Amino acid sequence: MLDFGKTNSKLFVFGQDGRILDERRTQPKWTRQSAFGVLDEAILHDWALGAVTDAVENHGVEGVMVSGHGCTFALVDSKALTHPILDYEQEPPAEIAVRIDRRIPDFAETFSPRLPLGFNYGRHMLWLQQVDPDAFSNATSILGYPQYWSWRLGGRPVSEVSYLGCHSHLWAPRKRDFSSLVDAECWRGQMPAFERAGAVIGEQRFGNTERSIAIHNGVHDSNAALYAYRRQGLGPLTVVSTGTWVVVLNPDCPLEALDSERDMLVNVDVDGGPVPTVRFMGGREFAVISGGWQGAIPLGSIQQALDAGLMALPSFAPGGPISDRSGEIIGGTPSAVQRAAVALLYVALMVDLCLDLIHSDNTVIVDGGLNAGGLLAGIIA
């Protein structure tokens, strides 16, 4: 399993019983090229190819699955990118933003709020098309980020609904079809045929092995977490998926409850169904508040921070349900471990707010890196 995150990219080797047999990690490198911040794709590809090759040779791996963060697209011809992959954390110039933002469909159609930067990747597509139209005219396929990596590793170019439906402005959940923006920009013909997440879309040999390895169609990372828990038959549930983003998904929330001003939106599950969602950049905010804390947070430090009256108030990153104020730490000057405790308390309180906003009255599952050791879930409970 290759998980391409915005801050960290990981490979996990799973045994037949679900145990993790091996893992590798790296950090993607984002650089500048002309007017854009872009991914250093070559470095990340070399790492992924080496990690997969080692896994195949050392563990007898039978297939490769990809998950990826949202907000990112790739333009490709039959062999390569026609433009480097954009970093979604950049704002189009004001004079371009004014022009492209007029073309964005209404929330009632896409259930994608108008977000800053490239948090709606259809907006970044409009920007790139304005600046470099040849990148689009030379492209035969427009791919979601996980589909790009599935293709790059040996699969065929395909589309996948959970990624297209991830606050992109490109999907109309009620119609289960592309949005009016896709047709207005004549992009439909560059969207490959759909395949379900996990479908085998090719085979490839890695390293010195004689056998071919199955390449599976990739998936949006938070939707992968939702699918994994749904298939366990746990009944109605809300999934809190944590990473760079904290994404709170409650399939039972009424669509009418979504407030586009509070970063509430519809994701789309792997079967095309609408999933009401609220999110904030919790992993990024944790890093800012904690001063880049790494490792476990002692349980006692949580109570110490509370006793000292320390608290972080939102927001420390763009977007989220409280985007109209700048973040601050109040109550004094915390020590390093207290900063980490304050950061985790902040994430827990933001999750608590999100659970209220998304009408969660069912089972809550907290998943992902911010819940290492279960401390975050314990605070929320």
pLDDT tens-digit readout, 55-113: 999 999 999 999 999 999 999 999 999 999 999 999 999 999 999 999 999 999 999 99
Q: What is the pLDDT of residue 209?
A: 87
Cα Rg for the chain, rounded, in angstroms?
Answer: 21
Rounded to the nearest 10 degrees, how much is the dihedral formed by the CA atoms of 276, 281, 285, 288? Answer: 180
Query: Which residues are CB-neighbours of 282 under 8 A, at least 6 positions away?
Result: 242, 245, 246, 347, 350, 351, 370
User: Do 7 and 119 share a domain, yes or no?
Assistant: yes
Grouping H, G, I as helix, E, B as strand and the rest as coil, residue 277 is: strand
Does some domain include residue 227?
A: no
Does some domain include residue 229?
A: no
In single-letter form, the type of residue at position 282 comes to G
User: Do 201 and 250 share a domain, yes or no?
Assistant: no
- CB-based burial label for 210 (10 Å; 0-12, 13-18, 19+): exposed
User: Do 109 and 247 share a domain, yes or no?
Assistant: no
Does some domain include residue 336?
A: yes
User: Do 170 and 303 share a domain, yes or no?
Assistant: no
Boundary (domain end) residue, out of 191, 217, 243:
217
User: Do 212 and 238 share a domain, yes or no?
Assistant: no
- CA distance linking residue 274 with residue 174, whole number of Å: 8
User: Do 199 and 240 share a domain, yes or no?
Assistant: no
User: Do 137 and 243 share a domain, yes or no?
Assistant: no
Boundary (domain end) residue, out of 217, 249, 272:
217
- For 86, 196, 219, 380, the CA distances from 187, given in Å and listed in that order, are 18, 21, 21, 43
Q: What is the pLDDT of residue 61?
A: 95
User: Do 213 and 156 share a domain, yes or no?
Assistant: yes
User: Do 15 and 138 share a domain, yes or no?
Assistant: yes
- For 76, 85, 163, 293, the CA distances from 73, given in Å and listed in that order, are 10, 7, 10, 31
Residue keyed to tokens 């998950």: 67
φ/ψ of 271, rounded to 5, equals: -100, 5
User: Do 121 and 207 share a domain, yes or no?
Assistant: yes
Task: Give the domain range for residue 365.
Answer: 234-380
Assess contact for 199 and 215: CB atoms under 8 A.
no
In single-letter form, the type of residue at position 70 comes to G
Global pTM?
0.88
Assess contact for 341 and 302: CB atoms under 8 A.
yes
- For 1, 59, 195, 207, 275, the CA distances from 20, given in Å and listed in that order, are 10, 11, 27, 22, 29
Does some domain include residue 74?
A: yes
User: Do 43 and 134 share a domain, yes or no?
Assistant: yes
Does some domain include residue 109?
A: yes
Grouping H, G, I as helix, E, B as strand and the rest as coil, residue 306 is: helix
Q: Which two tokens stand for residue 243?
A: 């990473």
pLDDT in tens, 302-335: 999 999 999 999 999 998 999 999 999 999 999 9
Helices (H), the chain: 41-59, 94-101, 107-110, 121-131, 133-137, 145-152, 161-164, 180-184, 221-230, 282-290, 299-307, 336-357, 375-380
User: Do 261 and 211 share a domain, yes or no?
Assistant: no
- Look up the CATH number of the domain holding residue 324: 3.30.420.40
- CB-based burial label for 317 (10 Å; 0-12, 13-18, 19+): buried
Does some domain include residue 222?
A: no
Q: What is the pLDDT of residue 360?
A: 98
Does some domain include residue 52?
A: yes
Q: For the chain, which ranges sit under pLDDT 70? A: none
Domain count of the fold of the chain:
2
Does some domain include residue 225?
A: no
